[in-house]
Structure 1
Amino acid sequence: MTPLQRLTATLNGEPTDRIPVFCNLLDQGAQELGMSLEQYYAKGANVAEGQLRMQRKYGYDNVWSLFYVGKEAELLGCRKILFAEDGPPNVEHFVIQDYGDIERLEVPDDIAALPAFAETAECLRILRAEVGGKVPICAYLTASMTLPALLMGMDKWMELLLTGPVELRDLLLEKCSLFFRRQAAAYRAAGADVLLYSNPFGSTYFVGMKRFQALSLPWMEKDLLPDGVDDVVYYCGSAPFNNVIEQVRERLGIRVYYLGPEDDVAEGKRLVGGQGMACGVINDIKLLRWSTDEICAEVRRIVEAGKPGGRFLFGTVVMPYAIPEGKIRAMLGAAFEYGKF
């Protein structure tokens, strides 16, 4: 089976050769091409080539159009990204410096026409030409409740969210939700098969259940319901979210849930239900210190908890740059072996 056939069959509850395996190797593409991270992320062709090489090298079932999370801030005017030598880039210039900047923030009508989107579009064009229709092409989109952290910093966003002027909070969320919908349209038009909806505020990790129900759920509905959720994967930034799955499923109709590493896999799969797909996720930071035997044992635990009955995927979070190749191969080898039907 091709990776896309495997993913589609799994989601539909049809027989497959093994469970799908997603491995999110992003910064590693720079190392593969012998480039610094800043050189690598400067061109969409580099990112596409890095993704294609990683997928062919290890044999897992997805590729990414994601450069780094701060790309979304650049689409809204961020002028400076901080590049490290051995880790993911971060936003250095915040678009929103004070509350007045919220009112001045403008959401572009056509995201695809922005110069800051050009290299992402080129990456998607190459991926679509090389593996379109065979390997799922994934895009990363930040939810309206989480995007403000990239625009003003987490501390200022939490202050506004919890104690700031409600009218400014809602104005910012309205603009972020509009941006989300327009960005999702751009990614879909450019060829992305899977939209990862990233929302740590879609769990009760940052906000309690009361605020989740009063704020998070309504804004998720504004983000997602106008254009549908058939290609959407629910992801809470590796935060646990089993306790909200039933509410999200009933309100939004999302079928695919990328669990947090601390979530109980079997329980998560039960909560997702028989018409959806649960993704059991390894805590890949621990791959830095685990032995290969420990890695294989953890993969086996996750797979054996989720595999019975199908409709299950094994995945990673964002694999740290420093994980040795041997440990990546051990993890994937175990997932392929234990994931066979």
Structure 2
Amino acid sequence: MVAKAFRDEMKPKERMEAVLTGKPFDRVPCSVQVSNQAGKLAGIHHWQCYYSAENIAKTQFAAHRIFGVESVGTGPGLPGIAEAVGSTVFYPKEENTPYIANHALNAHEDFEKLEIPDPWSKGRLPIHLKALELMVEKMGDDVPVVTNLAGPFTTAANIRGTEAFLRDLYHHPEFVHRLLKFSVDSTLAYVKEAAKLGVRFSVADPTASATLIGPKQFEEFAFPYLRDLIQSIKRLSSGAPSLHICGNTKKMWNLMADTGAGVLSLDDTIDLADAKQEVGHRVALLGNVKPTASMYLGTPDDVIRDAKECLARAYDNPKGYILALGCGLPMCAPAENIHAMFQAAKEFGKYPFDAEEFN
């Protein structure tokens, strides 16, 4: 595959705002957050970013320079709020994902010891806030700056321990509701500070997946607190956040839209055409190139083929469409596949669309 050069007419920030507000735009945006691959090419090891706001920011600047990413950012992610509350996160020096080694709440009676974290002193929250400041200062006028958060259900599980938390749904539901409310309040402490910077928000709640809980449990335990968090983000910031829940979320799409999210990020198990038909008149759609089969294990041609298929299915979504992966970018995905993703957006995502190009 020979890369082609395509000239954009809009800056990434104005393109994203145009798509999400129903205004004319030059092409479909491409949203992939790149860190590890850009860091390696810039000489910054991923482990050096865990405790350095400056290295996080430099890596994001490199991602924009090298790959042309259309948004930059950082945030507590899945474990960060739980870590700030007292859970212990292990950060491996090898290329692997951080994980929670010890949970803050091993017994119900310890709940009273928990405190809402100060985002400027607890865990790695201050590092993320400082890195966001650096990104907004340097790139905020031209490129969206995004901070990513865990949803309340996932944060509660990371405070309590997933297995214990899921058992509590059946045996101690009142305790679960208290912990979920605490998770919302703890997350909002960070949101209030990040919102002052003018950043956008992205929420992921993978533990609320249909592979772990049923529709009734989602509606009773996950949905009300996810809605409260997202509605608060909308009040505090400049726009509605995106929302991602892993797996087949088809039975949950309307509830996900009911949270107030502006964008639904959909796993690659989902047919974007189905989502467009069901909720495309309510929310923008984001996704869903295969992160493992194509982006990690595949070739640039595989990535472009997947991207073209996604565009063909969702480019005309009534509330807008953003080309992206079905989940997070694997740490070891080849750099040439990342380049291919952005090339596909520029080559095949142009407005007005020529559907024949997708074939």
> With structure 1 as the length reference, what TM-score do the two structures score?
0.90
> Residue type matched to 1:196 in 2?
S
Which residue does the alignment assign to 1:58?
Answer: 67
> Residue type matched to 1:274 in 2?
H
Partners of 1:47 and 1:123 within 8 A in 2: yes
> Residue type matched to 2:13 in 1?
L
2: CA distance, partners of 1:120 / 1:195 = 13
Partners of 1:285 and 1:320 within 8 A in 2: yes
With 224-233 and 120-129 compared, the bigger mean Cα shift is at 224-233
Q: Is 2:227 the counterpart of 1:221?
A: yes
Which residue does the alignment assign to 2:283?
Answer: 276
Which residue does the alignment assign to 1:83?
Answer: 92
Equivalent residues in 2 for 1:1-341 (5 A)?
1-66=10-75, 69-108=78-117, 110-112=118-120, 114=122, 116-161=124-169, 163-192=170-199, 194-228=200-234, 230-236=239-245, 238-249=246-257, 251-274=258-281, 276-286=283-293, 287-308=295-316, 311-316=320-325, 317-341=327-351
Partners of 2:36 and 2:45 within 8 A in 1: no
The structural deviation recorded for 1:11 is 0.7
The structural deviation recorded for 1:258 is 0.9
**Structure 1 residue matching 2:154: 3-state secondary structure:** coil
With 12-21 and 28-37 compared, the bigger mean Cα shift is at 28-37
Query: Could you give the per-residue CA deviations for residues 11-32 of structure 1, whole angstroms, max 9, x where no partner exists?
Result: 1122111101011213334323
Query: Could you give the per-residue CA deviations for residues 199-241 of structure 1, whole angstroms, max 9, x where no partner exists?
Result: 12555332111222222222223323345373311111x3232
The structural deviation recorded for 1:57 is 1.1
2: CA distance, partners of 1:10 / 1:284 = 24
Partners of 2:81 and 2:187 within 8 A in 1: no
**Structure 1 residue matching 2:141: 3-state secondary structure:** coil
> Residue type matched to 2:251 in 1?
N
Q: What CA RMSD, in Å, does the superposition of the two structures yield over aligned residues?
A: 2.2
With 317-326 and 217-226 compared, the bigger mean Cα shift is at 217-226
1: CA distance, partners of 2:122 / 2:197 = 14
Structure 2: tracts of 5 or more residues without a match: 1-9, 352-359
2: CA distance, partners of 1:253 / 1:69 = 20
**Structure 2 residue matching 1:225: 3-state secondary structure:** helix
With 45-54 and 317-326 compared, the bigger mean Cα shift is at 317-326
> Residue type matched to 1:214 in 2?
E
Query: Could you give the per-residue CA deviations for residues 85-127 of structure 1, whole angstroms, max 9, x where no partner exists?
Result: 112222223212222322321113x424547422112101110
> Residue type matched to 2:286 in 1?
C
2: CA distance, partners of 1:178 / 1:68 = 16
1: CA distance, partners of 2:137 / 2:253 = 36
Partners of 1:4 and 1:133 within 8 A in 2: yes
The structural deviation recorded for 1:10 is 0.4
2: CA distance, partners of 1:19 / 1:3 = 10
> With structure 2 as the length reference, what TM-score do the two structures score?
0.86
2: CA distance, partners of 1:248 / 1:78 = 28
Structure 1: tracts of 5 or more residues without a match: none
